[in-house]
A and B are shown apart, each in its own frame.
Chain A
């Protein structure tokens, strides 16, 4: 075996072993020591991260990619399924980033979940999730990817419903599972089509063999899968609801790793999509709609975690737009940079929540700039990175995306929506910072504000470094596959920045109105649209089930019970037979004369009839 390939496979194997060892330890019946979470789980992830730096550096220096196929798992007549790993540009860069972020989150979770009696189980779940995510990312065939896909789905369910005594958490977990399931239909459709038409689930074989086929149907399936997993519009309500889980879960799953799985799938399958204009346009418009819609919803949220969740959703929409522009690598770039600052934003909100004794409403926060300076600084850095402040992490990916959007032949509607969403990003980011860190405190006086624990400071510090330098580091070390358009009019070049600054200024202006009455009666309709999340949950979660249940009740009671059983069926027979029975027995009056007369009449009738 080539030494580079050997290095790649052995380091991945070592990584899996290091990550799986703590999990396997939990299957023995020995009780875990109290700091198992910090001594075993977190350390395992840290070691895995350090191990993964080896293939990363090798890749950055040689640029070599590898595919490893080991053990043949299933052999059928037409389709072979092997265990095969792909070490390409995407997986080699993503794995260290994911491990870095997970390491920070796990360290934070040792502080955040400290008082939870089942903390070890929590870490076990997080580790299992991580393993599933790594399987997904490194998979070279769709079957292995599906294993990882389902794995992250299940772990998401278990982790969102962590506090399962709370009914909202259970419904949120169910929502996550059901919406993901709908997406899975698309993935299975794609897999089935590919298995029957291209006869392979291997990525390399699929790319070669599908050159001349019309790939619209499987691509639609894959887009549906991405819609489900990455919370695009239509299958998006589960992501804000997933904030019912603990903050480390939100930070790991629902910002950095799991929700990008759908986008990652599309990035992996992008060579299939290159020539299919339908799929590309669908991605573009869906992404634009998602990013705009969720940014609108984020504007009026009062729960700090929900704002960040909608922000995640909006960024996922942006990634989908990028795929629709046929720029998968830029989408991947955004995944990587987004992981840093979004995880940091979630960890900051976790720190704030714990400091204010589990207060999540931003209207009851304030003035934390003085009381928790490090957290507020990180919050600010994260928000700036999110809005695409020049030369922070988010800038390199976001600006590149918007430049690509501006210089390509796309429909103006998608372009407009994306730019408006970018400005909204600035607005709600300012809203968070304004309400949380600025002005005077609005929380209870005896709040346990203490961010001096190294388990809080170190993760935030690490992720802050990542948010500041991450984009630069990645950009410097990779080669872009597609040549970006580098010359454009100044307005287009500065469009992203201008739109963000415009949003920021508008938000600042609006912020000064908090203490003044601008209009006599405020304009409520847009506010209602935003607060009710576009009425999507109200319709889909309540209206449609209500109609279905009503229909069911009507069928059961009116159609079956009343109509078939009573009016036309058994009861009708009973109602018809009863008068006949009573008539027959009531004819017996006891008078012989009547009987003999009847006999005479019958006799006469019969005789007359028989005579004719």
Chain B
């Protein structure tokens, strides 16, 4: 793509999210969301491949529907309460509409259906942007409209974790696996968001490096299915050794960093006296862990057969930058001992 256009699109993407972060007026927040949606659309369809175009179209329609509902809800709130400020509590009617709209924007169950197909149609870099950057803006808005003791939020959360678990079990395409993983993680964040937004932010902050690392690893191996990933042991042995750490961190296995948010969230839920929800969430994490383990098994724990030429490739110096992956992989595997510091840093 033309570098000027690419830079305009990326900068607009950044602008949109920053706008939503910085706004205290609902209209401005909506504008930010729209800008980021519009900016990412050309990025998604840049390859002009029918599948990519289909993904773009689906993304646009769902996000537009969600944005329209956000506009409608904030206008209704302005009608009822007479003010556009985000900081003031919403009336219950627009609150539920806004929650549903933001759920659709983020890809929470039961309105998650667009996410796997859209993510599958994108190349890995755009998919990365969709999974990480695009979650920030709706997340922050969700934080700011949280009521307490809402069963809708808990329902969204639990359903998301379960759907993320069960849906990912039947997948061999890596992007769909990551889509369901995103649904599950967002479910965890939503669960705790009404009790302790600091922990939800922690979950997001840990989730982003982990997903970043996985997308980068898949990009380095240029593999989109589990089977192609199985040949990576000959191409990038060091990366093959690190990947299980990242994947199991996604699964929330101690002593990796992914355990930190899950642990804190379960503790918070228990303190809030909803142990059943906590148990169901913990058990659903087991489902997700299984498919992460399956990917790492296929990649690292077995040496898959291959023809002789592929098992002894030339290992040349790479021109791609490895620093981002190195940093994010380290963060996603080894941050657990810094848990108190991380929590302290994230007090909103």
Contacts and interface: CB of A to CB of B under 8 A. Distances in A.
A606 B110 CA distance: 12
Contacts of A588: 113, 116-117
Contacts of B62: 592, 595-596, 599
Contacts of B169: 577-578, 581, 585
B93 A607 contact: yes
A595 B167 contact: no
B97 A607 contact: yes
Contacts of A595: 62, 111, 113-114
Interface string A581-601: 111110110101011101100
Contacts of A592: 57-58, 61-62, 114
A487 interface: no
A89 to B, nearest CB: 78
Contacts of A583: 166
B170 A599 contact: no
B325 interface: no
Contacts of A584: 163, 166-167, 170
Nearest to B116: A588
A96 to B, nearest CB: 78
B189 interface: no
Give the bracket for the number of chain B residues in contact with chain A: 20 to 34
Contact of A582 (B114, B170, B287): B170
B96 interface: yes
Interface string B149-167: 0001000000000010011
Contacts of A606: 96, 99-100, 152
A74 interface: no
Nearest to A601: B110
Contacts of A603: 69, 97, 100
A610 interface: yes
Contacts of A607: 93, 96-97
A585 B170 contact: yes
Q: Which of A580, A583, A584 has the most CB of B within 10 A?
A: A584
B171 interface: yes
Contact of A602 (B57, B110, B170): B110
A610 B110 contact: no
A73 B313 CA distance: 78
B65 A596 contact: yes
A378 to B, nearest CB: 79
Contacts of B96: 606-607, 610
Interface string A395-417: 00000000000000000000000
B79 interface: no
A1 interface: no
Give the bracket for the number of chain A residues in contact with chain B: 20 to 34
A126 to B, nearest CB: 63
Contacts of A599: 62, 65, 100, 104, 111
Nearest to A608: B96
A607 B98 CA distance: 10
A611 interface: yes
Contacts of A594: 113
A576 to B, nearest CB: 11
Q: Which of A578, A598, A607, A611 has the most CB of B within 10 A?
A: A607
A596 B110 contact: no
A238 to B, nearest CB: 56
Interface in A60-90: none
Interface in B85-113: 92-93, 95-97, 99-100, 104, 110-111, 113
A585 B62 CA distance: 19
B203 to A, nearest CB: 22
A592 B115 CA distance: 11
A174 to B, nearest CB: 47
Contacts of A580: 166
B104 A585 contact: no
A577 B287 contact: yes
Nearest to A611: B93
Contacts of B116: 588
Contacts of A602: 100, 110-111
Contact of A610 (B57, B61, B92): B92
B170 A598 contact: no
Interface in B117-131: 117
A579 to B, nearest CB: 10
A584 B168 CA distance: 9
Q: Which of A578, A590, A599, A602 has the most CB of B within 10 A?
A: A599
Nearest to A589: B113
A577 B99 CA distance: 30
A145 B111 CA distance: 86
Nearest to B176: A585
Interface of A: 577-578, 580-585, 587-588, 590, 592, 594-596, 598-599, 602-603, 606-607, 609-611
30 contacts: A577-B169, A577-B287, A578-B169, A581-B167, A581-B169, A581-B170, A581-B287, A582-B170, A584-B167, A584-B170, A585-B166, A585-B167, A585-B170, A585-B171, A592-B57, A592-B58, A592-B61, A595-B62, A595-B114, A598-B111, A599-B62, A599-B104, A602-B111, A606-B99, A607-B96, A607-B97, A609-B152, A610-B93, A610-B152, A611-B92
Q: Which 4 pairs show the lowest CB-CB distances between chains A and B?
A: A581-B169, A585-B170, A584-B166, A610-B96
